[in-house]
């Protein structure tokens, strides 16, 4: 009896995963057409660290993080394993780990297939037992390495209850990057699917805003123009937002990714990072109440066109 129930649940879960995969695949085909991808691949090269930007699906980003000295690499949210494997070969690096931000299929849905195709052991990090292929669960302030690069885990529950952002520094701490999944976007933040405004305030204001301003931000989706349009709606006199809109339009016209931004830049252009700012609080009619402001602007953004 128990076996039949388990098999039924497993079958239904497998069917659900297949339907989810089919939906995202169709959505990507419909949007990208013959282009194949929503953006071109690009590399952000620093002295000790490189990040290969790998577009996936209709608007997702995967990131191949490379320690330039040791050639050890990690992949963030490898929803398209074939693209990852090709990039690993092209970059001539040794892939050792998977950094999963959260359990949603368009981020974690490729983990198990990558483990199967790659043929070598990989450490799969994440903060949620719902993540496929997870073999190393992490929490706030857990640390590990990618070659000589230092990685710190930042627990940011709200979009999902087990969301993790990964803060990566060179050994000298001169180069810094944070991989934010669906918590922080360029100009925006993720929906509060499994959390509250208090949790997003903690994630964005208390945790991510405390990172050095020069930290590069690599987010999970290409949502920049829509987010900036909303930011302009909230703060129509914010010249930094207007300038970033023009910059982003030029990038997207060339099919180039808008990522990365920086933490310092987000503090200037992102209303969700600016809930302590009077102009954003005025929009929300919540002067002196940053968490109420966070809740209000997220509710407005959810239906903003």
Q: Which of 153, 149, 231 is nearest to 185 (CA)?
A: 231
Cβ atoms 145, 61 nearer than 8 A:
no
Q: Which DSSP symbol is given to 206?
A: I
Q: Exactly one of 104, 128, 163, 296 is catalytic; name it.
A: 104
What CA–CA distances, in Å, run from 194 to 36, 108, 298?
A: 32, 17, 14
Residue that the structure tokens 């995969």 belong to: 21
Alpha-helical (H) ranges within 119-254 are 197-201, 224-234, 239-253
Q: What is the maximum span of the chain, computed from C-alpha positions, in angstroms?
A: 65
Q: Exactly one of 77, 128, 182, 296 is catalytic; name it.
A: 182
> Quick check: is 106 catalytic?
yes
What CA–CA distances, in Å, run from 172 to 16, 24, 217?
A: 45, 40, 19
Q: How far apart are CA 305 and CA 296, in angstroms?
A: 16
What is the spatial order of strands in the sheet that 164-169 belongs to?
143-146, 149-155, 164-169, 176-181, 216-219, 261-262
> Quick check: is 103 catalytic?
no
Q: Exactly one of 106, 128, 163, 296 is catalytic; name it.
A: 106
Q: Exactly one of 38, 159, 163, 296 is catalytic; name it.
A: 159
Cβ atoms 144, 164 nearer than 8 A:
no
Alpha-helical (H) ranges within the chain are 2-32, 81-91, 105-108, 111-118, 197-201, 224-234, 239-253, 263-269, 278-283, 290-302
206 Cβ partners below 8 Å, 6+ apart? none
Phi, psi of 156 (to 5 degrees): -130, 65
Q: Exactly one of 38, 103, 107, 296 is catalytic; name it.
A: 107
> Quick check: is 253 catalytic?
no
Task: Extract the tokens encoding 4.
Answer: 């039949």
> Quick check: is 213 catalytic?
no
> Quick check: is 163 catalytic?
no
Q: Exactly one of 38, 102, 103, 163 is catalytic; name it.
A: 102
**Residues known to be catalytic:** 102, 104, 106-107, 159, 182, 221
């Amino acid at each position: 009896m128990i076996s039949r129930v388990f098999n039924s649940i497993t079958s239904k879960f497998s069917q659900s995963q297949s339907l989810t995969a089919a939906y995202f695949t169709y959505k990507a085909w419909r949007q990208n057409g013959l282009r194949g991808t929503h953006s071109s691949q690009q590399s952000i090269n620093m002295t000790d660290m490189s990040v290969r930007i790998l577009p996936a699906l209709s608007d997702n980003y995967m990131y191949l993080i490379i320690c330039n000295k040791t050639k050890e690499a990690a992949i963030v949210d490898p929803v398209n394993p074939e693209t990852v494997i090709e990039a690993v070969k092209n970059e001539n690096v040794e892939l050792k780990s998977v950094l999963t931000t959260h359990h949603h299929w368009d981020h974690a849905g490729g983990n198990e297939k990558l483990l199967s195709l790659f043929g070598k052991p990989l450490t799969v990090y994440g903060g949620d037992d719902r993540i496929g292929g997870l073999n190393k669960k992490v929490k706030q302030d857990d640390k590990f390495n990618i070659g000589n690069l230092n990685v710190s885990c930042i627990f940011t529950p709200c979009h999902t209850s087990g969301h993790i952002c990964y803060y990566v520094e060179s050994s000298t701490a001169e180069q810094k990057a944070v991989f934010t999944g669906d918590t922080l976007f360029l100009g925006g933040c993720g929906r509060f699917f499994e959390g509250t405004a208090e949790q997003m305030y903690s994630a964005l204001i208390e945790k991510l805003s405390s990172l050095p301003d020069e930290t590069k931000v690599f987010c999970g989706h290409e949502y920049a123009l829509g987010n900036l349009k909303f930011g302009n709606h909230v703060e129509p006199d914010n010249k930094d937002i207007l300038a970033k809109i023009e910059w982003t339009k030029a990038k997207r016209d060339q099919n180039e990714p808008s990522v990365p931004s920086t933490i310092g830049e987000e503090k200037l252009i992102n209303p969700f990072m600016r809930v302590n700012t009077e102009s954003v609080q005025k929009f929300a009619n919540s002067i002196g109440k940053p968490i109420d402001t966070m809740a209000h602007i997220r509710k407005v953004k959810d239906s903003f066109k």
